């Protein structure tokens, strides 16, 4: 089974072999350096399960 990675900016799909060959980690489609994830952008809502902490919680 092939693992695919998705650009976090444009959702372009690449293989792990293509990921290893990227110049400076830039997406071959949109040329950004936002990074890649194994989950497509539309399924990777990072704010869906966010817990917000403030400094006072760490000091207690």
The 10s digit of each residue's pLDDT in 14-58 is: 998 999 898 888 999 999 998 898 888 777 566 566 555 666 656
Predicted confidence at residue 2, as pLDDT, reads 86
Range of the domain at 24: 4-59
Alpha-carbon span 7 to 18, nearest angstrom: 12
**pTM, full prediction:** 0.67
Predicted confidence at residue 11, as pLDDT, reads 92
Express each pLDDT in 36-48 by its tens digit: 988 887 775 665 6
The residues, any chain, with a CB within 8 Å of residue 1's CB and separated by 6 or more, are none
Predicted confidence at residue 23, as pLDDT, reads 82
Alpha-carbon span 30 to 27, nearest angstrom: 6
Q: Are 34 and 8 in contact (CB under 8 A)?
A: yes
Looking at the 3D structure of the chain, how many domains does it have? 1
């Amino acid at each position: 089974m092939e693992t695919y990675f998705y650009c976090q900016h444009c959702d372009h799909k690449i293989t792990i072999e293509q990921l290893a060959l990227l110049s400076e980690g830039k997406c071959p489609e949109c040329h950004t350096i936002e990074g890649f994830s194994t989950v497509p952008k539309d399924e990777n809502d990072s704010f869906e399960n966010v817990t917000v902490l403030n400094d006072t919680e760490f000091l207690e």
